[in-house]
């Protein structure tokens, strides 16, 4: 008689995090999403910058390929939930920001991540080469991209928030003085 193999629990790294982490007491304005625990250390850099600017944000982990339904539900509810900008990071065939952008009119910023044999070029091309009609502003591969994604989100929010303009001006001055982000 054929023996049935025991059903394996999905590995932690492929399991979608359904509970978003909210930072700050306000409703989150920025949604930071990444596709795997592999991406977490780099995408944390994005959160550090948002925190520094006092922006409330939430982080979520799901993959456009492994959790397509979760991806769709998130994209479709994001605007109603009060989010203003999404930042999505993924490596390899990195379709997360593009798929999110296909289902929301919020701006979706892409962070290509490295770690594969192609060292992030695969992710970069997957994100940056979006067809006309579905823009995904795509930043540098890795940590610089994660940090700049946060700054770009701050700049977008600053369009209607003068206090953020002051903070951005202050950062420019500090960088002029030699500070590195």
Q: Which residues bind ligand AIR (CB under 6 A)?
A: 13-14, 35-36, 38-39, 63, 65-66, 90-94, 113, 115
The closest residue (CB) to ligand AIR is 91
Q: How far is the CB of 117 from ligand AIR (least distance, A)?
A: 11
Q: How far apart are CA 112 and CA 99, in angstroms?
A: 14
Q: How far is the CB of 174 from ligand AIR (least distance, A)?
A: 32
Q: How far apart are CA 50 and CA 56, in angstroms?
A: 7
Q: How far is the CB of 65 from ligand AIR (least distance, A)?
A: 4
47 or 157: whose CB is closer to ligand AIR?
47
Q: What is the 3-state secondary structure (H, E, C) of 51-87?
A: HHCCCCEEEEECCCCCCHHHHHHHHHHHCCCCCCEEE
87 or 94: whose CB is closer to ligand AIR?
94
Q: How far apart are CA 157 and CA 50, in angstroms?
A: 11
Q: How far is the CB of 157 from ligand AIR (least distance, A)?
A: 25
CA distances from 68 to 20, 35, 64, 125, 131 (A): 17, 11, 5, 21, 20
Task: Give the CB-side neighbour count of residue 150, counting CA atoms within 13 A.
Answer: 26
14 or 155: whose CB is closer to ligand AIR?
14
Q: How far is the CB of 126 from ligand AIR (least distance, A)?
A: 8
30 or 33: whose CB is closer to ligand AIR?
33
14 or 56: whose CB is closer to ligand AIR?
14
Q: How far is the CB of 140 from ligand AIR (least distance, A)?
A: 15
Query: Residue 141 corresponds to which tokens in the numbers above?
Result: 């591969």
53 or 62: whose CB is closer to ligand AIR?
62
User: Do 167 and 53 contact (CB within 8 A), yes or no?
Assistant: yes
């Amino acid at each position: 008689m054929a023996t049935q193999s025991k059903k394996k629990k999905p590995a932690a790294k492929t399991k979608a995090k359904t509970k978003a982490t909210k930072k700050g007491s306000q409703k989150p304005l920025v949604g930071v999403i990444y596709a795997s625990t592999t991406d977490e250390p780099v995408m944390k850099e994005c959160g550090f910058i948002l925190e520094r600017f006092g922006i409330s944000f939430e982080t979520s982990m799901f993959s456009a390929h492994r959790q397509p339904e979760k991806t769709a539900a998130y994209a479709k509810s994001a605007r109603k939930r009060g989010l203003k900008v999404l930042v999505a990071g993924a490596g390899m065939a990195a379709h997360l920001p593009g798929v999110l952008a296909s289902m929301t009119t919020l701006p979706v910023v892409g962070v290509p991540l490295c770690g594969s044999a192609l060292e992030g070029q695969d992710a970069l091309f997957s994100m940056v080469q979006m067809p006309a009609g579905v823009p995904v502003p795509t930043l540098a591969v890795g940590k610089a991209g994660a940090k700049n994604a946060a700054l770009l989100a701050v700049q977008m929010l600053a369009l209607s928030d003068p206090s953020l303009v002051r903070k951005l001006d202050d950062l420019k001055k500090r960088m002029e003085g030699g500070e590195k982000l």
